[in-house]
Every structure is written in C-alpha cells, then in structure tokens.
Structure 1
Amino acid sequence: MQRITRQLSLWLMVVLAAVTLQAQAAQPKDLPDFTELVKQAAPGVVNISTTREVQRRSMGPWSGQGQQEIPEIFRHFFGDQIPFGPPGGQGGGSEERHSLGSGFIISQDGYILTNAHVVDGADEIVVRLNDRRELKAELVGADKKTDVALLKVDANDLPTLNIGNSDRLEVGEWVAAIGSPFGFDHSVTAGIVSAIDRTLPTDAYVPFIQTDVAINPGNSGGPLFNLDGEVVGINSQIFTRSGGFMGLSFAIPISVAMDIADQLRESGHVSRGWLGVVIQPVSRDLAESFGLEDGPRGALIADVAEDAPASKAGLQAGDIIVAVDGQAVDESTTLPRLIGKVAPGEKVELELLRNGEQLTKTVTVGDWPEEQQASAGGAQGDDPQSRLGIAVSALNDDQLERLGIENGVRIVDIDPSGAAAAAGFKPGDVIVSLDQKAIESPQQLADVVGQVASDRVVPVRLVRDGRSLFVALRLGGNDKE
C-alpha cells in the first residue's frame, strides 16, 4: 500500500510540473509600458492650429463631395480644413480656413518641428503648449520635398524632447506617437516598426519609417518615439482608402528632419544636390537587355537635361548609375537621396555601366533650379511656374526628334503638394501644350502659366512613354489657395 501511495505521489508531482511548465510557456512576454515615456515626453509635444484667408470659390460639379469620396491613397493628415463664412461659396469675397496638427519642441528658446503641409499657406500659426499657453509662431522655413517645417515662438526655458538616432531603428521594435488626432490633445498610440527605408510615390528624398501606430488627422507633425523616449521620426502620412487610419502610417526619419531643420534655421531654405537627369528603375528584362549579368540594380538614365551638371560631365541616356562615391545604388530611388544630401558645388564620383562597360565620371553637383529662387518659408515669390510646382528643362532638336514632336519641355522634378502632382503629372513627362498654346521653352511655359486666371481648369497635352495624352490642370493663385 505504501508503495502505491509513493507511486501516486510521484505521478502527481510529474503532472503538476508539466502543467506548470505549460502555463509558463503559454504566458506572453511582458509588453512595454509607456507610462514613464509619456510623463517625460508629453510636455515637449505641442498642438498647432493655423488660419488662412482664401478667396471663395464658385460651386463646381464636385462641390460638397466628402473627403472619403476622393480617390486619393496616400494622404497628408493635418485635419480637415473648416471654412467659415456664408454658405454656398458662390460669388466673390473670402473665407477663413482652419487646420490642426502637431509638433514638438527641439530647443529651449522656442524652435519647433512639424510638417510643412501643416502650415502651408497659413496666415497665422498658433502653438498651444502642454501647460495650455497659446503662443503665436513664426514660420522660419519649410521644405516641401521632405515635408519638414521649422517654427519659432517667443519663449524661453521650454521643455524639449531628446533626439534619437533613426538610423538604428530595426523592424519589429516598439514605437509610440503623441499628437492631437481630431483635436484631442496629447493622445498616445503605440505599435511596431513595420518597415524602414520605404519610398512613397511622390517623395523621392525621404526614406520613410513605416509603422502600424494608429495615426489620424491632427497627428501630422507629431513625434514618433522609441522605447528610450527619444524622437526617431515625424509622423507625416498614412495609406488609406477611407480617409482614416488603416494600419499603415509613415514617419520622416529624425536624422533627415534635423538636417533640414539646421538648414532652415541657418538660411531659411534648403539646398540639395541636383544632377539634371530623368531616371527609371531597372527591371529584370531591362537588366538583361543592358547586359547586367548579376541582375537588376542601379538607376537607368532616361534623359539628361541640357546644360545640367550631368550633361556637362558627359552622362548620357542609357547610362546606368550603380554607385555614388562608393555607395551602391541598388534601387533607382536610392540615387535622389544620395545626390540630394550633397551640397551644391561639391564633386561626386559616379560609377556607370555604359554598353556593358564600367566607367567612372566626376560630376560637380548643381543646385535645384527652384531652390535657387526659394525664400524663407519655401515661397517662390511671383514665379508663375511655382503655381505648377515643377522644374522643367528644355529639349534639344535630337531629343525632340526621338520623341517625334516639334516642341515641348521635360519635367525633371515635381513638388508633391503642387498643382501638377494633383493633376497626375510625373517626372519625365513632356509638356507639349498648355491651354491650347504650344510650349517651346521653359520661359514660354512660365509666360503661359502666368496668363491663366486663378482656379481655372486648362487642358495640358503631355507625352509620356512615347504616347500623347491630355490632362486637366487646375491652377491655383500665387497665394497658394
């Protein structure tokens, strides 16, 4: 009997041990606790509200359509602009538009980072601090290409956030956002880094951080934190088909943003390198046709702008750029980022593949044409082409002959927030006519654009990939309506 009792006791002990081990294995790992992070960081996060006065537009066929009906996938999300004034919007007069966003303090003497689209065209910018103080802010400068803006308020001893190193981010690590979605100040959401070094269709200069952190209208411009409470990004865009959060949000790496902020603080505008080439990805079929035995890589030059740095250095259409100063260009999207970081006037060595042979060309990098005219806040003054949001280059006789056209100018860059981008223009497109007027030079394009009344829709004939098409273009006024 004693033997049976001992056997039962041993059996029960084995069973209990197995159950305990199974229970321990089933327990999830400890989830991160963000309470201390929020306590430390919240005072440095601000709410930003803007006001601008615009001319009231006449009612068109799409007036009254809800934002959810607009077929736009990538959205900036600074919040719905709310018009104030008589209903209907017909006739003359003006109305006020308000928008909401977020930002964060980077210096005790009042410098604040946010998104450029949050403050675009604002007549008044008001910053509300964590302690409920409201301060008017001055726009030091904005860079639309990276969607970064720098503000300044008249205050001292402000709470600042710790700036981290976004280059050290890894996919899968936890991150958190603090902002003002739909005006609810200092809301906290968390998630993980879904991907790094993402390229979005209209943003060639930003290697975005993709996360699944819940982001909504009003979060734009707010900080993205790592678990150490350091800012690693600025929340900027979402991918959506509904207008709201769908699990895909994108942040500007803080390393990119701080470089832009330093330039804005020093000069009020940003200088970035420019080659003057139209590039395209190298597909597998193109790689085979160009004799790339190790598969697709590099950036294929589709065209070279006349008198641009690339043409002066002897680059040609059909060249494939595979490295910049020893840094590999694995994807075509890598090239604009590498060149954009080079100061105008500096030289770079480009490794090329031409007719199956590897060459090295030294190029003196130029300054972006539109950047040369930029002033504080990124404004272009009264330059008519700023209404389009593009940079164009002339075409020589050989280029026109290859395209099978008699006249036109090629688009070499597009402002993602400009009228041309909204109409669907792309880099590499050739503008043949605008408002039924033939375009033969960049100056003529500027002259024709300058004659188009504000908010009028005009037809534009383009040549894209060897085919002609017409696009309807709505031109705003020089006041960035």
Structure 2
Amino acid sequence: MSYPTFANPRARRTILASVAVAALAAAGAFAEGALTSSHSAHAAAVITSDLNAQGAPSFATLIERVKPAVVSVKVKIANASSEDNGVQMDNLPPEIQQFLKRFGGAGGMNGGMQQKSQPMIGEGSGFFVSADGYIVTNNHVVENAKTVSVTMDNGKTLDAKVVGADPKTDVAVIKVNEPGDYPFVSFAKEMPRIGDWVVAIGNPYGLGGTVTAGIVSAEGRDIGDGPYDRFLQIDAPINRGNSGGPTFNMQGQVVGMNTAIYSPSGGSVGIGFAIPASTVSTVEAALEHGGSIARGYLGVEIQPVSQDIAENLGLKSAAGAIVDKVMPGTPAAEAGLKTGDVITKLNGKDIAEASDLTLQVGMLKPGEKVQLTYMRDGAEKTADATLAPQKAEKTASADESGTNDKAAPALGIQLAPASEVAGSGDKGVAIVGVDPNGAAAEQGLATGQVILDVGGKPVSTPQEVKSEVASAKSQGKKSVLMRIQTADGDRFVAVPFPKA
C-alpha cells in the first residue's frame, strides 16, 4: 500500500493500516457503499462510561467498559504481487525496508528480481456497532479483501465478510460469520468540543489492543483526502494499524473513527485525524442494510472565493462558492444559476467555503429539494432546485491566476482573438505569450489558455480585455477578475495590478 503525501516534502499524511509483505504483507483501500441513519439499539446494553472522579483524569473505568467492543481486523488478498498493490520501498517503515532488501521483496534482491505473486496481509482496527456482529472499519483496510478475520479483545478469532464500503468517506462495514451476542458501542450524537478529552483504541503495528489518550485539537479539518473531508484532529497518539479504530468521549461513546496521521516519519507526532461519528454512523447504517450511497448532484463547477475575488464582486467577505460553470440540463441550470454567481447558503445554512457546498449537497439524496441563496451583481437572490443522482462532479481548484498583453501590458501577457488561434475555439481571447516575471504568470496564466470574461463582461478582442482591465483599475480595485478557459475547465482568476 502506498502512503499519500502532503505537498510539504518533509511531512506526509499516512494511511494507518499496518503493512507487511508475505510474512509482513500489505493491504488496504476502497470499495463502494451507501448513506443512511445511525445504528438502532440491539438486545445487549450499549457500553457507557462512568469515570472515577479524581483530580487527574483516569480512563481505567471507561476503557474496561469499551475495550471489549474493539477488534483487530486482518485481511488477505490472494495472488497479489507487492507491485500490484502499490507497495513502494520508500513508503514502508525502515525495518520492513531492511527485511525486503535482505530477502528480495518489493522489486527483488538488489533490485534485480521481480517479486512473485503471493498472498498480501494487512492489519487494521474496527469496532462492533451491534450485538449481532456488525463491525465498522476503514474502507482502505478491507479493499480487495479475499478473506477477513477479526480478533476480539479476549483473543478469540472470528471469520468475517465485507458487507459494504464507501471510498468517498473511507467507511466500511464487515460482519462476523459466527452468531453471538457481541459487546458493542454507540455513536455520540453531539460533536466533541475542542479541548475535550478523548481515548483512542486500536491495533497499531499489529501489536493488539492499545489505548492512548489526548484531546480534540481541532475540527473540520480538510486534508485533501476526498470530497467529504471534515476530520476531527486529535493529539492522542495513533499509528499505522490504528485505521478503523474508535475514538471515545468520556461517556464511552464513539466520536470518531481513526483514519490518518500527519507525520514526517510515518509514526505519530500527535497529529491524527478521525472521521466524525455523524458521518460514520450515517454511512454505516446504509451499508449494513445493503444500501448504496446515493448522493445528490447539483451540476456546477465551483471554486473558493478569495479576498481578491470578493473585492471584485463587491462582496462583504471572502465566503461562499463561486460558480465557474453550470452544466446544461442539471438542477443548477434549471434553477437559473449562472457563471459568476456566488452561492452563500444551502437550505439556510451558510456556505463558508466551497467545500461546504460539496459536502452539504453530497450528504443529501437525489430527489431532495433544496433552496439556494446566492449573490449576483451585488444582490442576494434565492432559487429552488431538486437534486439529481450524482455524476462525476468536479470542484475547481482554489488557485488563482491572471492576464494581460499589448492590450493589457501591465499584467504581462500577449493576446489574440481566440478565433485566430488554432485550437482555441471561437469565443474569448487567447493568451499567446506570457512574461514569466509578470503578474499573470505569478497567478498561473499560461499560453494556450483563453480569457472568456473580464470584470464579468465577455471579451472577444485584446482591446476589450485592455478596456475592462483599465476600467477595473480606474475604480480603485487592486486586481481584475477574469474567467479563464483551461484544459481542466473554466475558472475565475483575480490578477493583481502591479504596484507603482
């Protein structure tokens, strides 16, 4: 299994499933699943906590009550080579790298022999959510699993099967094959506060049930792992193999499922991420009942509103999601949304940033009706839409760019009508040259892109670009807003004016 990295080359975000090849094999990753409500109560009583009241916190009573519900999850992927499963030497712990170098794994001894197909084994964590044997774990722990087994806190090992998994939220549900009355835990109905104590239990490095404690450091973290990132950040030490394990509040309720860490070494440095209980419980209930996640689809490409964009549009703050493009025949198009609209609320709930819209729409079902509040030409408007089934929806990137030419020399670009430049289409003004030291280049503009709008007005000649740039500058604006057509789609770019 490979471990995705952050942009910072010295720090990486590490999936927590422990890795081994052959005797040390690897496993993990994704499958499809579904959305619904939290798990209903079963015959066995839900485990709760009653902490000892002491000057310093003791977690002993809580741990005694909840630990029996936490399991080690082991999966085997038959006839899979290490190469096929993305095992890369530089992503493995040093001790495993040394083993592979000595015994010919991951590319062969001295890098010359190809590892033959062999069983791959991966270990993670999970926890019972029902008395009849349903267990929640991470999607990346059970991807492509041919066999699954779980080891309980008392040492008993049980065979299990994957019931369903959802790659977009990294939640999976498995069920033990043997009937029984298993200890289970419940999900918290309220989010923990920043600073609240939490306890994480899991199977780090395959050692078995391990307990760590800490506090909630932050909430709503987006680590670029998927469209529905809203992780809790905790400082309780968690490591590889903790994937899928629960994080508890002081009442013994699950507030999150451990999923990733941010680390320069691959080990815990006190920055861990857990999927909130509200997300886990919703997905779990649907997967348990054999459902598939049906997410709503609005039909817009969006990007965040930067401060420069907000100033150009006359907005009070840099909040909301600006519409790059409205897909024809979609709910957004039918609701009358247009390019340049800034969506500020969905069903009365604020859209603080573009990812909020993606998350809120994705948590609704096709066919649900929503009310959109948006800004257009300085005025607030509303529109109703009925969500469609989700397609491959794209969220525009947050970076910004700029433009200029002989028509707008101060910005550092050369322009020509798009109709006169092969491959540029018949709308807008093509960028045919970029000064690498200019304002446009700093914002990411490049040769081959096409300027469609400047200051909200369509342009078709370099002179129109120059005129609108001059108009923006005369109004005292610090930048000019442009809509740019790129190979990846349309996006808005606020190009700053050079300082005198």
Q: TM range, normalised to the smaller chain?
A: 0.5 to 0.7
State the 1:368 CA deviation: 1.7
Q: 2:304 aligns with which of 269, 281, 291?
A: 281
Q: 1:253 aligns with which of 276, 279, 286?
A: 276
Matched residue SS, 1:162: coil
Conserved 8 A contact 1:303-1:316: yes
Q: 2:372 aligns with which of 350, 354, 378?
A: 350
Is 2:206 aligned against 1:183? Answer: yes
State the 1:166 CA deviation: 3.9
**Structure 1 residues 67, 316: closer, same or farther in 2, change over 3 A?**
farther
Quote the Cα distance in structure 1 between the aligned partners of 2:64 and 2:246. Answer: 14
Quote the Cα distance in structure 1 between the aligned partners of 2:135 and 2:199. Answer: 19
State the 1:265 CA deviation: 1.9
State the 1:392 CA deviation: 11
- Please list the CA deviations of residues 215-267 of structure 1 after superposition, one character each: whole Å capped at 9, or x if unmatched: 10010100000111111110111111211112211111111111101111223
AA aligned opposite 1:40: R
**Structure 1 residues 86, 135: closer, same or farther in 2, change over 3 A?**
farther
Match of 2:334 in 1: 312
Conserved 8 A contact 1:140-1:268: no
**Structure 1 residues 54, 275: closer, same or farther in 2, change over 3 A?**
farther
Quote the Cα distance in structure 1 between the aligned partners of 2:367 and 2:271. Answer: 39
- Please list the CA deviations of residues 97-120 of structure 1 after superposition, one character each: whole Å capped at 9, or x if unmatched: 111100000001010001101111
AA aligned opposite 1:230: Q
Matched residue SS, 2:228: strand
- Please list the CA deviations of residues 260-301 of structure 1 after superposition, one character each: whole Å capped at 9, or x if unmatched: 011112233211112122221111111110110x21111111
- Please list the CA deviations of residues 108-136 of structure 1 after superposition, one character each: whole Å capped at 9, or x if unmatched: 10100011011111111111111222112
AA aligned opposite 1:249: G
Match of 1:223 in 2: 246
AA aligned opposite 2:364: V
Matches within 5 A, 1:202-241: 202-241=225-264
Quote the Cα distance in structure 1 between the aligned partners of 2:88 and 2:193. Answer: 44
Quote the Cα distance in structure 2 between the aligned partners of 1:281 and 1:120. Answer: 33
Conserved 8 A contact 1:206-1:256: no
Structure 1 segments of 4+ aligned residues over 6 angstroms from their partners: 390-393, 464-467
Q: 1:163 aligns with which of 176, 187, 191?
A: 187
Conserved 8 A contact 2:81-2:120: no
**Structure 1 residues 406, 306: closer, same or farther in 2, change over 3 A?**
farther
Match of 1:50 in 2: 75
- Please list the CA deviations of residues 438-480 of structure 1 after superposition, one character each: whole Å capped at 9, or x if unmatched: xxxxxxxxxxxxxxxxxxxxxxx9547789xxxxxxxxxxxxx
**Structure 1 residues 326, 217: closer, same or farther in 2, change over 3 A?**
same
Match of 2:362 in 1: 340
State the 1:93 CA deviation: 5.0
Quote the Cα distance in structure 1 between the aligned partners of 2:491 and 2:383. Answer: 29
Identical columns (%): 37
AA aligned opposite 1:309: P
Match of 1:107 in 2: 130
**Structure 1 residues 118, 392: closer, same or farther in 2, change over 3 A?**
same
Q: Which has the higher contact order (CA 8 A, sep 6+)?
A: 2
Conserved 8 A contact 1:56-1:91: no
Quote the Cα distance in structure 1 between the aligned partners of 2:148 and 2:219. Answer: 32
State the 1:305 CA deviation: 2.8
Quote the Cα distance in structure 1 between the aligned partners of 2:152 and 2:311. Answer: 58
Conserved 8 A contact 2:77-2:144: yes
Quote the Cα distance in structure 2 between the aligned partners of 1:344 and 1:272. Answer: 6
**Structure 1 residues 55, 234: closer, same or farther in 2, change over 3 A?**
closer
**Structure 1 residues 336, 323: closer, same or farther in 2, change over 3 A?**
same
- Please list the CA deviations of residues 126-173 of structure 1 after superposition, one character each: whole Å capped at 9, or x if unmatched: 111112221121111111111100111122200111322242x11101
Q: 2:288 aligns with which of 257, 260, 265?
A: 265
**Structure 1 residues 63, 359: closer, same or farther in 2, change over 3 A?**
closer
Quote the Cα distance in structure 2 between the aligned partners of 1:304 and 1:54. Answer: 45
Q: 2:59 aligns with which of 3, 25, 34?
A: 34
**Structure 1 residues 272, 404: closer, same or farther in 2, change over 3 A?**
farther
Match of 2:319 in 1: 297
Quote the Cα distance in structure 2 between the aligned partners of 1:405 and 1:219. Answer: 51
- Please list the CA deviations of residues 362-402 of structure 1 after superposition, one character each: whole Å capped at 9, or x if unmatched: 111112226xxxxxxxxxxxxxxxxxxx8799xxxxxx99x
Matched residue SS, 1:352: strand
**Structure 1 residues 462, 134: closer, same or farther in 2, change over 3 A?**
farther
Conserved 8 A contact 1:47-1:129: yes
Structure with greater proportional helix content = 1
**Structure 1 residues 157, 321: closer, same or farther in 2, change over 3 A?**
same
**Structure 1 residues 202, 317: closer, same or farther in 2, change over 3 A?**
farther
AA aligned opposite 1:31: A
Match of 1:9 in 2: none
Quote the Cα distance in structure 1 between the aligned partners of 2:70 and 2:312. Answer: 53
AA aligned opposite 1:146: T
Match of 2:433 in 1: none
Matched residue SS, 1:311: helix
Match of 1:438 in 2: none
Unpaired runs of 5+ residues, structure 2, are 1-53, 397-417, 426-448, 450-485, 493-500
Quote the Cα distance in structure 2 between the aligned partners of 1:360 and 1:465. Answer: 24
Matched residue SS, 2:90: coil
Quote the Cα distance in structure 1 between the aligned partners of 2:321 and 2:78. Answer: 43
Conserved 8 A contact 2:324-2:490: no
Q: 1:194 aligns with which of 217, 239, 245?
A: 217
Conserved 8 A contact 1:352-1:360: yes
Query: TM-score scaled by structure 1?
Result: 0.66
- Please list the CA deviations of residues 11-30 of structure 1 after superposition, one character each: whole Å capped at 9, or x if unmatched: xxxxxxxxxxxxxxxxxx92
Conserved 8 A contact 2:324-2:491: no
Matched residue SS, 1:122: coil
Matched residue SS, 1:333: helix
Quote the Cα distance in structure 1 between the aligned partners of 2:208 and 2:196. Answer: 25
Matches within 5 A, 1:78-97: 87=105, 88=107, 90=113, 94-97=117-120
Quote the Cα distance in structure 1 between the aligned partners of 2:150 and 2:166. Answer: 20
Matched residue SS, 1:163: coil
Q: How many residues align?
A: 347
Unpaired runs of 5+ residues, structure 1, are 1-28, 70-78, 371-389, 394-399, 408-431, 433-460, 468-481
